Chain A
């Protein structure tokens, strides 16, 4: 065998040091360190110093150095560090010590060995042989592992070897034999695969994958393994894997949940982008109108009456924009503000009837302009009804419900505002009813969600009803929608009465 050219050997060594945590040390005839390099600090470098004897921190070198032979010690466990492959080469009067990190290799081998041991245990159980010459696996050990081992004949009939755990009974017939029954159960399906595996006569095992079935005390999960013993006997091992199953499920669940969360966030960001465009559009529209009005006002020889009308129009646009901005600001402010700021006792609580009268009076002209009649129906006794609410925000809730009704009510129809006490429940119900098209069933679930924009929303951003729900819930009340008999919509809120 020809030796590697020095330049190539150098390159290979450099790559080893860089990629594999390799290290070297040159020792003299007395075993003292003359020089060291590579990843030496990782491999106990802190214990080895140039000029000192290497055998002190590395006692296993004793006996090896005087022998002056090429020595290989694979996967040597070193104190304070993981396993390393050790190579000792005689060199001149002394030696060269080479260390290669073996952590990855040992871990992999360990895992394979563990799996091999498990299969050996099953095979030993089947054949009654000793395991490793030291351990005779008995029923207790197999039972502890929640396993059952069956021996199968060429017809696929499998009989338990040793005692049968109670959970295993579900798979056995009255005669204690597991046999393919054509009932489309999971194990039945796997026995077909197992039969093909046994027929092939190849060494190794075939695993079924996990399956779960309902049981009286909950769900039980299993995994089956088909095995072929060295003497050609067919074995089936069934394992209860509840704990391992839960661990596997937890890991997979976390991975998938993270993926779902990511998707949800991505969609949410998309929605926000659309919303932002809507907001810009909504806020820009009145501004454009105002700019147009200002242009018109500069027209030469403008009729004073027309100028006054234009100014009024500009004022309305400004008010519209102001209202939109206030609505937005209110939403965000409400979310961060302390939500406990509302009346909880009769004294100082808003009177629902007074709020209704006041708000409807203020909105009257808008309804009149739109050709919609607005009627108010309050309890006949005219007594105040103090409710758990914040007065200003209650005004805004009602304003939103009225604005919503006005938007959908056809010209010539009537919008009704009703206040009714709810007998026996200490609540009062406020309803706003219109004769518009109502809310289609598909939109009802999300009607009060933020940014919900139903048909005919007229370019609004969909915050009004969200604000109403947010406030009413804060006060411990409820809000809802129902179809109005005879056609139209009815939005209602229920609030706690504070007058006992």
Chain B
């Protein structure tokens, strides 16, 4: 069994907790429930025949009221950095958190999740432009609400975490 710490990072209300709930419990709630502190969950995956045990650190959203502590990122093998497709301002928060994670560990794997793709009519910018702006890591389109792309995003990160293993 291979155990890895994965952080969920991003601005507030981008859907980090919803993505974890969808991935771990196959649940979704439309009600916004802000995260205070850190929620720790676990999920097992099989990647390329390896059993991968993910310890998911769902960190509170960073904003003017809460700043993510650097010590929370320590030991993270990778992160899903989440952006809300309907809020352009969540892009810069995601970029900053990605940089902080890599500053702590240059080998940490970063994957971006463009969440809420079910709200296409409310996108802050067209999808092509989102793709162009999210240029510093692999991007996954997902909707915690419909479940679309969620498993795939976690699985892709899992693949990346085990890259190089036979």
Nearest chain B CB to A469 CB, angstrom units: 16
Determine if A163 is an interface residue (Cβ-Cβ < 8 Å). no
Determine if B40 is an interface residue (Cβ-Cβ < 8 Å). yes
Interface flags for A152-188 (1: CB within 8 Å of B; 0: not) read 0000000000000000000000000000000111100
CB-nearest residue of chain B to A222:
B37
8 Å CB contacts to B: which residues of A245-302? 245, 248-249, 252-253, 255-257, 260, 263, 267
Determine if A445 is an interface residue (Cβ-Cβ < 8 Å). yes
Q: A183-B3, A256-B13, A443-B121 are in contact. Are A211 and B65 (CB under 8 A)?
A: no
8 Å CB contacts to A: which residues of B16-68? 32-34, 36-41, 55, 57, 61, 63, 65-66
State the CA gap A443–B123 with chains docked (Å): 12
Instruction: Flag the segment in B71-79, B103-111, B132-140, B152-160 that touches A.
Output: B71-79
Determine if A140 is an interface residue (Cβ-Cβ < 8 Å). no
User: Which B residues lie within 8 Å of A192 (CB)?
Assistant: 71, 74
Q: What is the size, in residues, of chain B's interface with A at 8 Å between Cβ atoms?
A: 30
Q: A183-B55, A209-B69 are in contact. Are A260 and B13 (CB under 8 A)?
A: yes
> Is the CB–CB distance between B3 and A253 below 8 Å?
no
CB-nearest residue of chain B to A253:
B34
Determine if A420 is an interface residue (Cβ-Cβ < 8 Å). no
Determine if B4 is an interface residue (Cβ-Cβ < 8 Å). yes
State the CA gap A34–B38 with chains docked (Å): 63
User: Which B residues lie within 8 Å of A190 (CB)?
Assistant: 71
Determine if B151 is an interface residue (Cβ-Cβ < 8 Å). no
Determine if B5 is an interface residue (Cβ-Cβ < 8 Å). yes
Interface flags for A195-224 (1: CB within 8 Å of B; 0: not) read 000000000000001111110000101010
Nearest chain A CB to B18 CB, angstrom units: 14
User: Which B residues lie within 8 Å of A221 (CB)?
Assistant: 37
State the CA gap A247–B90 with chains docked (Å): 26
Nearest chain A CB to B56 CB, angstrom units: 10
| Residue among A185, A212, A267, A446 having the largest count of chain B Cβ atoms under 10 Å | A212
CB-nearest residue of chain A to B41:
A214
8 Å CB contacts to B: which residues of A439-484? 442-443, 445-446, 449, 452
User: Which B residues lie within 8 Å of A260 (CB)?
Assistant: 13, 32
Q: A185-B55, A189-B74, A212-B40 are in contact. Are A255 and B121 (CB under 8 A)?
A: no
> Is the CB–CB distance between B34 and A249 below 8 Å?
yes
User: Which A residues lie within 8 Å of B120 (CB)?
Assistant: 442-443, 445
State the CA gap A449–B122 with chains docked (Å): 12
Q: A253-B33, A253-B34, A260-B32 are in contact. Are A212 and B87 (CB under 8 A)?
A: no
Q: A189-B72, A209-B38 are in contact. Are A256 and B12 (CB under 8 A)?
A: yes
Cross-chain contact of B121 among A184, A186, A223, A446 (Cβ < 8 A): A446
CB-nearest residue of chain B to A271:
B122
> Is the CB–CB distance between B65 and A255 below 8 Å?
yes
CB-nearest residue of chain B to A209:
B37
Cross-chain contact of B71 among A189, A211, A253, A256 (Cβ < 8 A): A189
Determine if A193 is an interface residue (Cβ-Cβ < 8 Å). yes
User: Which A residues lie within 8 Å of B39 (CB)?
Assistant: 211-213, 219
8 Å CB contacts to A: which residues of B106-148? 118, 120-122
Nearest chain B CB to A359 CB, angstrom units: 30
> Is the CB–CB distance between A211 and B37 below 8 Å?
yes
User: Which B residues lie within 8 Å of A253 (CB)?
Assistant: 32-34
> Is the CB–CB distance between A256 and B40 below 8 Å?
no
User: Which B residues lie within 8 Å of A252 (CB)?
Assistant: 34, 36, 65-66
User: Which A residues lie within 8 Å of B4 (CB)?
Assistant: 184
State the CA gap A255–B12 with chains docked (Å): 11
User: Which B residues lie within 8 Å of A449 (CB)?
Assistant: 121
Cross-chain contact of B40 among A186, A193, A267, A442 (Cβ < 8 A): A186
Nearest chain B CB to A302 CB, angstrom units: 49
> Is the CB–CB distance between B3 and A184 below 8 Å?
yes
CB-nearest residue of chain A to B4:
A184
State the CA gap A257–B32 with chains docked (Å): 8
State the CA gap A249–B122 with chains docked (Å): 28
State the CA gap A207–B90 with chains docked (Å): 29
| Residue among A214, A249, A252, A452 having the largest count of chain B Cβ atoms under 10 Å | A252
Nearest chain A CB to B40 CB, angstrom units: 5
User: Which A residues lie within 8 Å of B40 (CB)?
Assistant: 185-186, 211-213
> Is the CB–CB distance between A263 and B66 below 8 Å?
no
> Is the CB–CB distance between B75 and A212 below 8 Å?
no
User: Which A residues lie within 8 Å of B61 (CB)?
Assistant: 256
Q: A209-B38, A210-B37, A211-B40 are in contact. Are A184 and B71 (CB under 8 A)?
A: no
State the CA gap A210–B66 with chains docked (Å): 12
CB-nearest residue of chain B to A219:
B39
User: Which A residues lie within 8 Å of B75 (CB)?
Assistant: 184, 189
Nearest chain B CB to A58 CB, angstrom units: 45
Q: A256-B12, A452-B121 are in contact. Are A184 and B5 (CB under 8 A)?
A: yes
State the CA gap A351–B57 with chains docked (Å): 61
User: Which A residues lie within 8 Å of B74 (CB)?
Assistant: 189, 192
User: Which B residues lie within 8 Å of A189 (CB)?
Assistant: 71-72, 74-75
CB-nearest residue of chain B to A446:
B121
User: Which B residues lie within 8 Å of A214 (CB)?
Assistant: 41
| Residue among B37, B118, B120 having the largest count of chain A Cβ atoms under 10 Å | B37
CB-nearest residue of chain A to B124:
A267
> Is the CB–CB distance between A184 and B55 below 8 Å?
yes
8 Å CB contacts to B: which residues of A405-454? 442-443, 445-446, 449, 452
> Is the CB–CB distance between A210 and B36 below 8 Å?
yes
User: Which B residues lie within 8 Å of A446 (CB)?
Assistant: 121
Give me 17 A-to-B residue pairs in the complex whose CB atoms sit less than 8 angstroms apart, sorted by A's number.
A184-B5, A184-B75, A189-B72, A189-B75, A210-B38, A211-B39, A212-B38, A212-B39, A252-B34, A253-B34, A255-B65, A256-B32, A257-B32, A263-B87, A267-B122, A442-B120, A452-B121
Q: What are the 4 A-B residue pairs with the smallest beta carbon separation, nearest first?
A: A210-B37, A184-B5, A184-B55, A211-B38
Q: A183-B3, A211-B38 are in contact. List 6 more A-B contacts (CB 8 A).
A: A184-B55, A189-B71, A210-B36, A219-B39, A257-B34, A445-B121
